[in-house]
Amino acid sequence: MTSRLVVLVSGTGTNLQALVDACADPAYGAHVVAVGADRDGIEGLARADRAGIATFVKQVKDFTTREHWDRAMADSVAGFEPDLIVLAGFMKLVSDDFLARFEHRVVNTHPALSPSFPGMNGPADALAYGVKVTGATLFVVDGGVDTGPIVAQVAVPVLDDDRVETLHERIKTAERTMLVETLGRMAREGWELDGRRVRIG
């Protein structure tokens, strides 16, 4: 039995693509059963369509409250009976109710080395601060903003002539590899949480 992944995206979906490509090998141990988004017309959804993966879109503006949107999103996710929910460039916070339905099974990838530079602008914030090393973090989502227990991290150098775009692209190259390697291990070996410490296998 391979692990069932539901991936949530808001944009380009290169992390999603890396996962889909990895899942083509049965030995990887996981497969993407659905891709959800909070907006329409994005490349992430097109990638899912091309791969023949089911998609769903829930836009906040189509619901009377944010709570209704959140519940609809959780209902859609639950319908695919995922073992793991992967936020891959998903630019919305999900609620505590959402997280309670999928306890310790929602992971997010963030383009910075947590606990530094949480939020929407990890690469820009790292560049503005002047750090020489940044990277990406895969973590188990909790109620905070990019504060959950860390599953894996990868470091990336900041170069003198970097702009936000060049830095983010370098981060994303390392991030995709980290995401694919770590999710594969989680799927094949299982994982456990001990306080803030995550152990795979």
Residues labelled catalytic = 110
137 binds ligand GAR (CB under 6 A): no
Measured CA distances, 149 to 26, 59, 83, 158 (Å): 29, 28, 18, 25
CB of 92 to ligand GAR, least distance (A): 9
Measured CA distances, 83 to 79, 129, 162, 198 (Å): 12, 37, 38, 17
Q: Which two tokens stand for residue 37?
A: 């988004």
Binding mask 82-121 toward ligand GAR (x if CB under 6 A, else -) reads ------xx-x-----------------xxx--------x-
Which member of 172, 180, 182, 198 binds ligand GAR (CB under 6 A)?
172
175 binds ligand GAR (CB under 6 A): yes
Q: What is the DSSP letter of 60?
A: G
- β-strands 133-140, 84-87 pairing: unpaired
Sites of contact with ligand GAR (CB under 6 A): 9, 11-16, 44, 88-89, 91, 109-111, 120, 122, 172, 175
